[in-house]
A and B are shown apart, each in its own frame.
Chain A
Amino acid sequence: MLILVSLILVSCDNAQQLSWSAHELKLINSLVLPEPTNLATQISLYDPGNAVRADLNAAKLGHQLFFDPRLSGNGQVACASCHHPAKAFTDNQVLSQGIGITAMHTPSIIGVATSAWLFWDGRADSLWSQALGPLENPAEHGANRLQLAHLIFSHYQSEYQAIFGQLPGWLADPNVPKDAMPLLDANNATALDKQLAATWHNFPLHQQQQINQVFANIGKSIAAYERLLMPAQSRFDHFARELNRMQTSNLLTVQEQAGLKLFISDDSSQCLRCHNGPMLTNHDFQVTGIVNLGTSKNTGRIAGIELALQSPFNCRGIYSDTPHNCPELTFAKRNSAELKFAYKVPTLRNVAQTAPYMHNGSIGSLMAVLTYYNQAQPQLELGISPRNNLAHYDLEPLRLMPHQLKQLKAFLLTLSSPPAIENSWLQPPVFKINTNKTTIKTTINKTINKTINKTINGTVTKDRKALL
């Protein structure tokens, strides 16, 4: 009898087909990534102020710069040090190790060109200006803009000049200092920062602007490369297309389809409020009640938008190629309680590969994230509650059953896909190092791996000081 019941149950399970309403089908279609051939026309890619954002030569230069550890204070930190191609361009660390420890978790940059705002707090209004931030952050690359201008002059001169025109000739003068940058954070300036700033102020304004322009162009090249990192079609996208054509599809399991049904239901999960559109993010800033664990005083978007407006490298600045066409900056919301502790909604594409989660990396697993949203309790134990610091809070308890959380998780795992680009773009390039007038071809894989596996706080600070 028991066997018979089991057989009937199994039979029923296999025969189970989820039905989809017309409204659900429209919601599902709104999440589908356009085919690669239509991607550029059907999805908005941002990088205001970057005239070379779609220039292949700029992308090639950006590819080299992205993997080059010489863009750092100690010669060991590249963009790829934290944005590993093999890990969906994250590092799977809670916080990342550059020259020091970063204040925020490293997000994936697959599909990052679809976002109008960059960084967790949106303090950059373009991909190119975002790329500049880590380069001079003492905890990340720890480089300085004059050092980087010299690097371009010495190692990337022909590639650079083919895209951006002549480099300043005075960089060839051996008497020109090697390191200088303006003071970025007067409140936390070290002796080294002050020394670099003093050297910077010895340059006349026009030379400072020339250095800034080279610096900005480094960011624009890296942004042109990152723009290529659009996700390929995931299992979900294939399922949705087939469902659209045939009204049914087995490309996702029943469990995964049940998760999708929950995902698009505002009554059940509310996921779609923030994770909508083809990148499964609204690119907005929401308050999830996750606060920084004492590592940062970052108050989220409310501070981020002010930093974006003040940045000399924003869309309206003199280094922007379209300073009069900056709608996102113009219409940005400011001074709202809704922005306090609000952080950028990340994409859910490749979420299976990008643990740990949240802007501070404080939640280790996907199920733990779903459980957090299910309960929607802000981190009260840290003294943050709606009654004091959190004036606005975007979550409501979902009260989903455990099996529903598993279904949601099963669906989220169908969103994985690598960048839709030739593999050579995902590898460290073979590039030239000019040392003692000898050109050596090498790759930097070893350097990157070495850097990641190294605890470098003390030694690197020393290295950075050795710059002078």
Chain B
Amino acid sequence: MCINRAPFKPLNRPLPQSLNIGGASIAAARYCRFMVMICLSLLPWQSTAQMVINMSDQQLTQQYTIVSDRGAFELTLQPVGTIALNKLHSWRARLVILDPNTVGLSTVGLNTVGSSPVTSSLVTSSTASSSAASSSTETPSTVTPTKVTSINLTNTNTNTNTNTNTNTNTNTNTNTDISHHNITVTGGMAAHGHGLATKPMIGEVSVGLDQQVHFLIQGLKFQMFGQWTININVETLSDFAQLNLELRP
């Protein structure tokens, strides 16, 4: 396990000139890459999961559960609808904190809103704080200790709009907050040396009836078949989950 591992960044491929040394070297490089992939697949990676998506199949019920790199949380992902090449799509995500002590979390109870989930809508760019703060209007009704022991589902700075943001713990901006601001999605195709085609965003962070954190990953687009890696980094938990996808026609 590596601590504070940096989020995924696409590997730098060899410069084109370095491949410019003849067919035998290219074949050797491909063979090496193949062997490395075989070796990697044999390692007991707890933090990554391999998922094959056949785009010709229906994917409505397909979901996959991943444990994060440091074991701080478990993430279950499910595509919304079918995934098609070159089209924007979303994933539903359900996050369960597994071992908060290992990541130095406090044990404050979870604030929820009964049957009405707290929701922070999709917010973009620099206006994120103010517009997100005004998006939730429910009043907290229960405090329910669950497997998730320390989540303040807040929208960061409550000073921006105190009239509407009454549902959340007033102790905001702690290191245990989980909101769309501190979940980031990165990824790419390491073998091709490029990142994602788009900049995905987190929308609709909420606590569901199961008392777990639910959110949408929106704006993913795969523009090529092949092996993709997606990292979901939760800043407040100092951990990330990695999903390996193989997209096939």
Contacts and interface: CB of A to CB of B under 8 A. Distances in A.
Interface in A60-85: none
A282 B16 contact: no
A376 B218 CA distance: 35
Nearest to A400: B23
B140 to A, nearest CB: 30
Contacts of A394: 192-194
A277 B30 CA distance: 26
Nearest to B54: A26
B226 interface: yes
Given A266-B226, A276-B225, A378-B16, A397 B26 contact: yes
A334 interface: yes
Nearest to B222: A282
A101 interface: no
Interface residues of A, number: 37
A67 to B, nearest CB: 31
A396 B193 CA distance: 11
Nearest to B197: A284
B85 A333 contact: no
A386 interface: yes
A426 interface: no
A277 B88 contact: no
Interface in A371-414: 376-378, 386-387, 392-397, 399
A463 B218 CA distance: 50
B195 A338 contact: yes
A328 B200 CA distance: 11
Contact of A327 (B19, B55, B88): B88
Contacts of A332: 198-199
B198 A274 contact: no
Interface string B43-77: 00000000000011000000000000000000000
Given A23-B248, A282-B224, A396-B16, A328 B88 contact: yes
Interface in A255-312: 266-267, 272-274, 276-277, 282-284
Interface of B is mostly: loop
A332 B218 CA distance: 12
Interface string B213-249: 0000011010111100000000000000000000011
Contacts of B225: 27, 266, 272-273, 276
A331 B88 contact: yes
Interface string A310-352: 0000000000000000011011111010100000000000000
A331 B220 CA distance: 8
B202 to A, nearest CB: 12
A377 B174 CA distance: 51
Contact of B86 (A282, A327, A330, A338): A282
B194 A392 contact: yes
Contact of B223 (A23, A283, A330): A283
A248 interface: no
A325 to B, nearest CB: 12
A233 interface: no
B249 A27 contact: yes
A117 B37 CA distance: 35
Nearest to A401: B23
B223 A282 contact: yes
Given A276-B224, A331-B218, A395 B16 contact: yes
A362 interface: no
B196 A333 contact: yes
Contacts of B13: 396
B20 interface: yes
A44 interface: yes
A282 B85 contact: yes
Contacts of B88: 327-328, 331
B124 interface: yes
Contacts of B221: 331
B248 A334 contact: no
A160 B224 CA distance: 42
A26 B198 contact: no
A331 B249 contact: no
Given A26-B56, A282-B85, A330 B219 contact: yes
Interface string B13-30: 101110110010010001
A284 B86 contact: yes
B249 A267 contact: no
B16 A397 contact: yes
A137 interface: no
A30 interface: yes
B26 A399 contact: yes
A387 B193 CA distance: 16
B85 A276 contact: yes
A331 B86 contact: no
Interface string B176-212: 0000000000000000111111111100000000000
Contacts of A282: 85-86, 197, 223-224
Interface string B69-109: 00000000000000001111000000000000000000000
Interface of B: 13, 15-17, 19-20, 23, 26, 30, 55-56, 85-88, 122, 124, 192-201, 218-219, 221, 223-226, 248-249
A-B complex: 3 closest residue pairs judged by Cβ atoms? A331-B219, A282-B223, A30-B249
22 contacts: A23-B248, A26-B56, A30-B249, A272-B224, A274-B223, A276-B85, A276-B86, A276-B223, A276-B225, A282-B223, A282-B224, A327-B88, A327-B218, A330-B122, A331-B199, A332-B198, A332-B199, A392-B194, A393-B16, A394-B192, A395-B16, A399-B26
